[in-house]
Amino acid sequence: MVFNMKLGGKIKRNINRVHEKDISLTNTIIKDLVFPNEYCVYTSDGILLYQTDCIDFMDRLIKQYPDGIFDMIFADPPYFLSNGGITCVSGKMVKVDKGDWDKSRGVDKNHIFNLEWLSRCQRLLKPTGSIWVSGTHHVIYSVGFAMQQLGFKILNDITWEKPNPPPNLSCRYFTHSTETIIWAAKNEKSRHKFNYDLVRKMNNNKQMKTVWTIYPPSNDEKRYGKHPTQKPLKLLERIILSSTDMEDLVFDPFSGSSTTGIAAIKYKRYFIGCEMSDEYIRLSRKRFDGFLNEARNTPLLFKEDL
């Protein structure tokens, strides 16, 4: 059956839905949780990927799980930076245009959007759960302010430093070379999970600092296709290992190429993702199939030991 509907008047979908019996098989693995399956476009080995608007999806989940179901949420929302600026790609000057989804709607509307999706994420987090949100200066101050307004407990702000940023062609600014990732718990009372010993071990038995130097995704990570804001697997692996346990349920409302999903299943967590675009759903499906094929031939890929 072809899933083809308009949402928000803009997005056309032409992606095949997955068969109900395959969904119920994956759902059994994910402890019989019930999701709005009519949007499901990929399922396998503890992964459920939905093609829909994440706000609509979360509204439906909240009705079923008012006390929360997710152990961890990673969100990489639109940055609102595709507004006619210029950047440097492979030594060439190009316009910043990551897609319509990344265009600014104006400061106030952008902030309302951030409040809308963050408030739903907060409802869907378990009391022990936590959320990580990444962004550049175009969006991260609004995200941080929205989190304060909603009563999240901010735990850390991570600076992700990219060692090889493109040069700043205008020569009127410093070269942009970082992104911020805010880590927060559901509210002031909640007790979040932090795998302190493992994180320390990952950092040569020293406490890990909040500046993380990690290269952007390699060509190998992009071998199934490109997403303009794809996150490096290493970044998501660190996030998942530090704040979740095996068999925890991880959610990504803006899944893109599903980097979060790959990192989650690599370490035996379950993954639920939402993405609106046909192109990135196709890319995610290729990535999942590729990873699962490889993992089946290389069981060590599923080891938590780093």
Instruction: Give the footprint of ligand SAM on this chain (CB under 6 A).
Output: 53-55, 76, 78, 101, 227, 229-231, 254, 256-257, 259, 274-277, 280
Nearer to ligand SAM, 123 or 190 (CB): 123
Token duo for residue 47: 């992964």
Supply the minimum distance, in Å, between the C-beta of residue 185 and ligand SAM.
21
Nearer to ligand SAM, 196 or 215 (CB): 215
Nearer to ligand SAM, 53 or 248 (CB): 53
Nearer to ligand SAM, 237 or 275 (CB): 275
Rounded Cα–Cα distance for residues 284 and 263 (Å): 13
Nearer to ligand SAM, 147 or 281 (CB): 281
Supply the minimum distance, in Å, between the C-beta of residue 188 and ligand SAM.
28
Supply the minimum distance, in Å, between the C-beta of residue 203 and ligand SAM.
23
Rounded Cα–Cα distance for residues 264 and 244 (Å): 9
Residue nearest to ligand SAM (CB): 256
Instruction: Please report which helix (H) or strand (E) contains residue 12, including its range.
Output: strand 11-12
First to last CA, the chain: 42
Token duo for residue 195: 């795998």
Residue 117's closest CA among 57, 50, 191, 190?
57
Task: Give the largest Cα separation in the chain, rounded.
Answer: 57
Rounded Cα–Cα distance for residues 234 and 194 (Å): 18
Nearer to ligand SAM, 70 or 101 (CB): 101
The DSSP bridge pattern shows strands 86-89 and 92-95 to be antiparallel
Supply the minimum distance, in Å, between the C-beta of residue 282 and ligand SAM.
12
Supply the minimum distance, in Å, between the C-beta of residue 205 and ligand SAM.
30
Supply the minimum distance, in Å, between the C-beta of residue 231 and ligand SAM.
4
CA angle 32, 34, 35 (to 5 degrees): 140
